[in-house]
Amino acid sequence: MTASAYERAVNVRDHAVAYVAQTQVFNYGEDFVEVSLVSDADLAACAEGRFVPPGGQWHDATGKLVASGALIVTGERGSGRRTAALRLLNGVSADGPIYELAPTWKRPGVNVLPVPPSARVPYVKTSVRTTRAGTVRYLQLAHNEWDPATQRSRTKVLYNFGREDEIDKDAVRRLVAALSRLLDPAEALAAAEPGELSVTGSRPVGGAHVLDQVWRRLRLDEVIRRCLAGRAASGRKPDPGTERVLFALVANRALAASSKLAAAGWVCEDVHVDGLDEVTDDACYRAMDQLLAIEPDLAEQAYRQVTDLLNLEVDILFFDTTSTYFETEQADADVPRDRRGQRVPAGSEDAAGEAGFRTFGKPEDSRDDLPQVIAGMAVTRDGIPVRVWSWPGNTADSGLIRQVKKDLREWTLSKVIWVADRSFTSKENRRALMQGGGGYIIGEKLRSGSAEVRTVISRQGRYRTVRDNLQVKEVRLGDDGDRFIICYNPDQAERDAAIRVKLVAQLEDLIRDTDGLTAAERAKLEGTLAGKPGLKRFLRVTPAGLLRIDKATIKAEENLDGKYLLRSSAPDLSAEDIALGYKQLLEVERGWRDMKQVIDLRPVYHRREDRIRAHVIVCWLALLLIRVTENTAGQPWNRIRAELQRQHAVTWTGPAGTFRQATDLTKPQRDIYTALSIEPPKKIITLAPTPPAP
């Protein structure tokens, strides 16, 4: 045989669990079986679009193939079994060549390759003798040698162990121990016979590994340890495992969001977290208690590392708030608070009012019957969450952006334009955002009735198309004043008109034949519309108390269909940039949507204010790792998570101890690791040899 054929055989032999030819299984032992490379033409026959999967358990076959690591060897060319097997192998090993056994092989001894002297592999040979007393088995240590004269491989006995039933097992153990010392401890464990090893566990490893590497790349581990060391200097002794526990809580939100109690069980049973084999729920709560104190330093370090890692130019920051409710009908007791919403001692000069943290307010989830808290988030144009805040549930949005800007001013940011929706428009906010050379793009309320808005809307001018469904018109009320941008979406205008027609028709049905009612009955009907502002807007009450459709309001609304108004202080941005910049505010909304649907910000299983705030921070850190991973890999998190969670850490247990081994990578997994520039988990993840007997 040629050298290349021999190398191919060795390659297959070293990586296969078993050779499968037609319906036979031949576990490799003392012989090599000839293999051949599957041609590109044969692989093309099973490509997408040319292959119809068979019935039965086809959908489970790929998963079983990946899980077992078995090599399927195909049969005769043209057979459906061979095409199906190639389809499976090509899906799992699309990045490398595929080999197969010679189809003529039916029994041992056919197409046997020679073993060169440099590749002699000792094995235990068994021979059987039948005597009058019965059958006796003898064991020998042997290897194969190539006989050039006869052109055959012959067996050479290296050592006789004697009868199997009389073997000195202690001597064999000493020999195995002596040979094992020549190997790496993990290799020594893995070298045990398959029958001596058993699978005692399997848990996902890929998702936690990637998140851990991003966590370390952002140096969040260093910041946490440094901050905790600083607290130790002030007399508070930190737990050295706090950093690992905090990472595990963050990874839990990104991979399998659950309560802190369930997260402790998840770490112990359902995931491999490097450096953290087990954790208790008490340790989780202690770690959260320390997170709140180090959050400012943690947020700043994360911001600086992300901007360097992704080469971000933070010239625009988007800010928005949301609310999250609690499944309890009782709000927290009112306590003194400062202007930032933080608790202060009773009688403090900093007290600006009293409020409970979980309290009733204006909800975004239509649950005004439940107490809530307010959370705010600043996001870059690339969707990276810079920092998160939380306030009592009855806090008004209007003044929050001033606090946020003040907090971030300490990071010595360059000139930043802030983008916020119309709930943050006020003279005080605009004045604060202009300080330090900053600027703003803020939504204005079209129906505010202010003189500025009425003047802007009435100003004549042409719209300019900047996108298929977006037209803009700029209006200036003075040389040094703010710039107003009227944005118009024709598609939205049609939707607004259709909704208005439906509302007016509904209102007409409600007030029809009401002229015959008493004044008290008409007033009662009018009162029922107070909770329906969409209908109430088009209702007019005559001086005589009659209910009519307000046609003037309808005409005014027609002029606002599909429009929204922006105010900006940025002199260097074009009207198009201002409009498109404001549309990127959707990045914050996407962040809140992922916080609630992927990371599960709600439900919140905490009662104490400090732990609720810490829970919000944990969710923010999870979103930060997700966004950095998405931006770097160029794939959505749901797809990344699904692929990585298919890579498992399998726990093997044998006489020599226990080790945890990572499964081989599929091509999609390898592509993700490559895009992220992250090394996959090492093959042998953990190793625990059995302690020597005393």
Backbone angles phi, psi at 657, to 5 degrees: 140, -155
The C-alpha angle with vertex 89 and arms to 86 and 93, in degrees rounded to 5, equals 135
Structure-derived torsion over alpha carbons of residues 521, 522, 525, 530, reported in degrees to the nearest 10 = -130
Q: Is the pLDDT of residue 234 over 60?
A: no
- How many residues in total does the chain contain? 694
pLDDT-derived band at 92, boundaries 50, 70, 90: low
CA–CA gap between residue 236 and residue 240 (Å, rounded)? 12
Using an 8 Å Cβ cutoff, are 417 and 316 in contact?
Answer: yes
Sign of torsion over alpha carbons 475, 477, 480, 484? negative
Structural tokens at position 268? 């112990």
Phi-psi region of 283 (alpha: psi -120 to 50; beta: other; left: phi over 0): alpha
Q: For the purposes of burial, counting CB atoms within 10 Å of the CB of 95, is it exposed (0-12), middle (13-18) or buried (19 or more)?
A: exposed
Structure-derived torsion over alpha carbons of residues 594, 599, 600, 602, reported in degrees to the nearest 10 = -80
Q: Is the pLDDT of residue 385 over 80?
A: yes
The C-alpha angle with vertex 37 and arms to 79 and 55, in degrees rounded to 5, equals 30
Q: Which of 540, 549, 546, 545 is nearest to 503 (CA)?
A: 549
Residue 251, SS3 per DSSP: helix
What would the pLDDT profile of 184-231 be if each residue is shown by its tens digit?
Answer: 665 665 565 545 678 888 999 999 999 999 999 998 999 899 888 877
pLDDT-derived band at 413, boundaries 50, 70, 90: low
Q: For the purposes of burial, counting CB atoms within 10 Å of the CB of 632, is it exposed (0-12), middle (13-18) or buried (19 or more)?
A: middle
Average pLDDT for residues 491-502, to the nearest whole number? 93
Q: Is the pLDDT of residue 446 over 60?
A: yes
Structural tokens at position 596? 């609630």
CA–CA gap between residue 169 and residue 76 (Å, rounded)? 46
Strand order in the sheet with 417-420: 385-392, 372-380, 316-325, 417-420, 439-444, 563-568, 483-488, 470-476, 464-467
Angle separating helix axes 609-633 and 586-597, nearest 10 degrees: 110
What would the pLDDT profile of 275-321 be if each residue is shown by its tens digit?
Answer: 998 999 999 999 999 998 888 888 888 888 888 877 776 778 889 89
Angle separating helix axes 667-676 and 637-644, nearest 10 degrees: 120
Contacts of 59 (CB under 8 A, 6+ apart): 53
CA-based radius of gyration for the chain: 36
CA–CA gap between residue 266 and residue 232 (Å, rounded)? 29
pLDDT-derived band at 117, boundaries 50, 70, 90: very low
- Domain residue ranges of the chain, discontinuous segments joined by +: 3-101, 117-191, 206-309+612-643, 316-459+576-602, 492-558, 645-689
Using an 8 Å Cβ cutoff, are 376 and 613 in contact?
Answer: no
CA–CA gap between residue 95 and residue 432 (Å, rounded)? 56
pLDDT for the residue numbered 98: 66
Q: Is the pLDDT of residue 97 over 80?
A: no
pLDDT for the residue numbered 367: 78
Q: Is the pLDDT of residue 342 over 60?
A: yes
Using an 8 Å Cβ cutoff, are 599 and 254 in contact?
Answer: yes
pLDDT-derived band at 116, boundaries 50, 70, 90: very low
Residue ranges with strand state E in 411-506? 417-420, 439-444, 464-467, 470-476, 483-488
Q: What DSSP state is assigned to residue 598? A: T
Using an 8 Å Cβ cutoff, are 621 and 250 in contact?
Answer: yes
CA–CA gap between residue 323 and residue 374 (Å, rounded)? 5
Residue with token string 């204006």: 362
pLDDT for the residue numbered 23: 29
Average pLDDT for residues 476-484, to the nearest whole number? 81
Using an 8 Å Cβ cutoff, are 639 and 317 in contact?
Answer: no
Using an 8 Å Cβ cutoff, are 585 and 258 in contact?
Answer: no
| Least confidently predicted of 100-114, 440-454, 511-525, 673-687 | 100-114
pLDDT for the residue numbered 583: 86
CA–CA gap between residue 396 and residue 374 (Å, rounded)? 9
